[in-house]
């Protein structure tokens, strides 16, 4: 386990669930990942749920907004990337061919954010921390451990994100799959799978991975709780075991158990 007091620029710093049934989602993820829930008022008849592990923030949830529903957006996970200046990054994203869906704005006194769509269609948020630093724990069951960008144009995405965050995106030596690893500073944080391994029916998106002790056991439990699996438990040689699921409300994420280190 590692406690996180500050998320480095370019790192995945926060995740939040936009769901059609916040109460049911709290029950599902508490059962699956042993998250505790801290509900905080955010308006009339609305609250923002902070999910915690050992008293440290791991994720959040809110009821999907009416304008998202009107646009046909289903329940989903939002990915936030840490930045020093949300304004500067939003401006740079536009210059690199991205679309700023929501210009930088203050979230009370906890931080400043912007919502951006990359040139290939995937949406993410940037977070300039103030009082809320974001994810405060890693390396234990139920924490974010990876994120994959599923995109029909990996080369275009590589140029965009490298220019925006300074990420290194490269194929590992001896890997013939074409998978691009994302490296932020000295840490590998995610990747871009080759197009042939992506679902042709899914729009461009970021897929979050949660660390678990036993993918098969968690998959069985998730199924009993109403989840649907798009990719059943499978082994990635020398990497680990993973599965892709939709929770009972339809939000998609992945679970992952790393291979034992020899």
pLDDT of residue 177: 80
Task: Please state the three-class secondary structure of 21-44 as a single string.
Answer: CHHHHHHHHHHHHCCEEEEEEEEC
Task: Please state, in angstroms and rounded to a whole number, the distance separating the CA atoms of residues 139 and 130.
Answer: 24
pLDDT of residue 197: 82
Q: Is the dihedral of CA 209, 214, 218, 220 positive or negative?
A: positive
Q: Which two tokens stand for residue 123?
A: 């949406």
Residue 118 has pLDDT above 70, yes or no: yes
The most distant pair of C-alpha atoms in the chain lies apart, rounded to whole Å, by 55
Task: Please state, in angstroms and rounded to a whole number, the distance separating the CA atoms of residues 122 and 218.
Answer: 28
CATH number for the domain formed by residue range(s) 137-258: 3.10.180.10
Band (1; pLDDT cuts 50, 70, 90): low
Report DSSP state, residue 121. Answer: S
pTM for the whole structure: 0.96
Q: Three-state SS for 101?
A: strand
Residue 53 has pLDDT above 90, yes or no: yes
Residue 208's DSSP bridge partners are: 147
User: pLDDT above 70 covers what percent of the chain?
Assistant: 98
Band (94; pLDDT cuts 50, 70, 90): very high
Q: What is the pLDDT of residues 197-223, one digit of tens each?
A: 888 888 999 999 999 999 999 999 999
Residue 262 has pLDDT above 60, yes or no: no
What mean pLDDT value characterizes the chain?
A: 95
CATH architecture label of 7-129:
Roll (3.10)
CB 143 within 8 A of CB 52: no
Write out the residue limits of the CATH 3.10.180.10 domain(s) in the chain.
7-129, 137-258
């Amino acid at each position: 386990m590692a406690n996180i007091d500050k998320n480095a620029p370019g790192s995945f710093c926060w995740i939040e669930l936009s769901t059609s049934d916040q109460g049911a989602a709290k029950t599902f993820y508490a059962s699956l990942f042993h998250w505790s829930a801290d509900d905080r008022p955010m308006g009339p008849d609305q609250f923002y749920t902070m999910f915690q592990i050992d008293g440290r923030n791991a994720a959040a949830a809110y009821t999907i907004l009416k304008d998202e529903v009107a646009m046909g957006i289903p329940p989903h996970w939002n990915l936030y990337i840490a930045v020093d200046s949300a304004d500067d990054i939003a401006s740079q994203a536009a210059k690199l061919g991205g679309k700023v869906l929501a210009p930088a704005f203050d979230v009370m006194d906890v931080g400043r954010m912007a919502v951006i769509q990359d040139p290939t269609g995937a949406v993410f948020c940037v977070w300039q921390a103030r009082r809320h630093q974001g994810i405060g724990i890693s390396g234990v069951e139920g924490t974010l451990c990876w994120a994959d960008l599923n995109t029909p144009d990996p080369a275009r995405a590589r140029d965009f994100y490298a220019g925006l965050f300074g990420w290194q995106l490269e194929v590992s030596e001896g890997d013939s799959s074409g998978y691009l690893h994302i490296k932020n500073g000295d840490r590998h944080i995610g990747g871009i799978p080759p197009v042939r391994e992506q679902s042709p029916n899914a729009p461009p998106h970021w897929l979050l991975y949660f660390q678990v002790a036993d993918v098969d056991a968690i998959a069985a439990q998730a199924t009993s709780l109403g989840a649907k699996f798009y990719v059943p438990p499978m082994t990635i040689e020398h990497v680990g075991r993973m599965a892709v699921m939709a929770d009972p409300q339809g939000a998609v994420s992945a679970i992952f158990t790393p291979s034992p280190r020899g």
